[in-house]
Amino acid sequence: MPVLVMKFGGTSVATLDRIKRAAKRVGVEVAKGYDVIVIVSAMSGKTNELVGWVNETSPMYDAREYDAVVSSGENVTAGLMALTLQEMDVPARSWQGWQVPVKTTSSHSAARIEEIPTENIMGRFEQGMRVAVVAGFQGVSPEGRITTLGRGGSDTTAVAFAAAFGAERCDIYTDVDGVYTTDPRICEKARKLDRIAFEEMLELASLGAKVLQTRSVELAMRYKVRLRVLSSFEEQSDEAGTLVCDEDEIMESNVVAGVAHSRDEAKMTLLSVADRPGIAATIFTALSEANVNVDMIVQNISEEGRTDMTFSCPTDQVARADKALAAAKADGVLNFSELVADTNVCKVSVVGIGMRSHTGVAAKMFRVLSNEAINIKVITTSEIKISVLIDRKYMELAVQALHDAFELDKAG
Ligand code: ADP
Ligand code: ASP
Ligand code: MG
């Protein structure tokens, strides 16, 4: 029988009633003849609560125990979903990551899936089971410890299962009815897209649109998984939601496809570092060894052999970055006068494959921000995106002004 993967995010399994509603939707697909793999998130708010408990217990926690704790939310919903399906007379069984097993790397809290053997679940489908409910977000390391895939990781579990099982489609059920031109919660003119290209979705996700975890889009692109985002709260047709697909399957196209934002960014500047070969390598090796995810990097013009180096990273990694650079200074491998952190910035980005062939997008973006008197602190660009760091208090304003200026409320 054909296999379908259906993933339900936190709000879609937030209560027993919602689990029932999701289970009914699974029942509809089973009745159509699919064997279904259901991937569940933890009930909404649960993972945040678990992360909070870990931080309170141990601020510089052991990442293996962090994973042991934060993976547990998904175990509860997987069991409850299986029970709910059984109550509906749908043959179902739950699996935790290690039982499948979802084999991952051992980078705790940011593990990558390496392999998902299918025999175990396939064997059960052959014996008449119709639904395998799998706890999302978690796996098992080569050392046999529980791992997690990074926040939002159940999306990646879903796509990885779809690829491993050759599923006909991977449906991501969430609390919005598809992928929008920007976050509909901060821009009421945001427009739902019927289709979006993998590359644009990849950029939007990596720049902060949390509707899909970045890694899930990467996997879908690589393994040609038919990936759809849709609402678990509305009645659905086969055409509902947003299909993430190849560029050539899309008719409509605006130069800019969407605007993304990332709220919790920090800008850090190392003042007066030596301007000579090897210094950037020293700084960014120290940061990478401390697991700091550096995003933008700017090096200023040097004066008298000294320069300033600015980089951005998530606000919750500022303390780690601080510690790593101070240690490098204390060890004598790096010399700087001061490390200045600005933790009140955010990143706003415009994304579109049309930018490859159109000029003037950057100029227009900067003009729009200047008209709103928003100061740009750092700029980076790639072939299909432009990102700026600005003060966090202007985030909503910037997103709305850019959405208006690029007329994203209108189909191209
Ligand atoms: P889930 O719990 O189902 O995984 P998430 O909260 O992770 O859901 O992702 C859905 C949220 O993503 C939406 O509620 C919305 O606020 C946010 N979002 C940000 N950018 C976009 C976008 N471009 N299109 C749709 N949703 C977006
Ligand atoms: N529960 C995890 C989180 O909140 C994983 C997920 O929902 O995708 O990040
Ligand atoms: Mg999510």
Out of 198-202, 239-243, 348-352, 371-375, which region has the weakest mean confidence (pLDDT)?
239-243
**153 CA → ligand 2 middle, Å:** 6
Which ligand lies nearest to the CA atom of residue 10 in the structure? Answer: 1
Q: Which two tokens stand for residue 279?
A: 């210094």
Kind and range of the H or E run holding 384:
none
Q: pLDDT by residue (tens digit) across 254-281?
A: 899 999 999 999 999 999 999 889 999 9
Show the CA angle centred on residue 263, arms to residues 259 and 266, nearest 5°.
120
* Domain parsing of the chain, residue ranges: 3-175, 259-405
Q: Which of 322, 320, 324, 327 is nearest to 341 (CA)?
A: 322
Q: Which of 130, 144, 6, 151 is nearest to 73 (CA)?
A: 151
Position 330 scores a pLDDT of 95
For all residues of the chain together, what is the average pLDDT? Answer: 95
Give the whole-number percent of the chain exceeding pLDDT 70: 99
**114 CA → ligand 2 middle, Å:** 19
Is 64 within 8 Å of 32 (Cβ atoms)? Answer: no
Judged by DSSP in three states, 176 sits in: coil
**95 CA → ligand 3 middle, Å:** 20
For residue 91, say if its preceding peptide bond is cis, omega within 30 degrees of 0.
Answer: no
User: Homologous superfamily of 259-405 in CATH?
Assistant: VC0802-like (3.30.2130.10)
CATH numeric code, 3-175: 3.40.1160.10
Identical fold at 3-175 and 259-405? no
Helices and strands of the chain, counted as H and E runs: 12, 18
At a CB cut-off of 8 Å and minimum separation 6, what does 207 contact?
A: 260, 261, 262, 347, 349, 351, 385, 387
d(CA 120, CA 242): 32
The best mutation among 54, 96, 137, 232 to test binding of ligand 2, ranked by most ligand atoms within 8 Å of the C-beta, falls on 137
- pLDDT class for 216, splitting at 50, 70, 90? very high
Is 70 within 8 Å of 152 (Cβ atoms)? Answer: no
The best mutation among 7, 47, 159 to test binding of ligand 2, ranked by most ligand atoms within 8 Å of the C-beta, falls on 47
Kind and range of the H or E run holding 91:
none
Ligand 1 in reach of 245 Cβ (< 6 A): no
Atom of ligand 2 nearest to the CA of 157: 8
- pLDDT class for 116, splitting at 50, 70, 90? very high
Phi and psi angles of residue 261, each rounded to the nearest 5 degrees, phi first? -140, 150
Bridge partners (DSSP) listed for residue 37: 5, 132
**Position 236 pLDDT exceeds 90:** no
Neighbours of 176 (CB within 10 A): 20
**Position 164 pLDDT exceeds 70:** yes
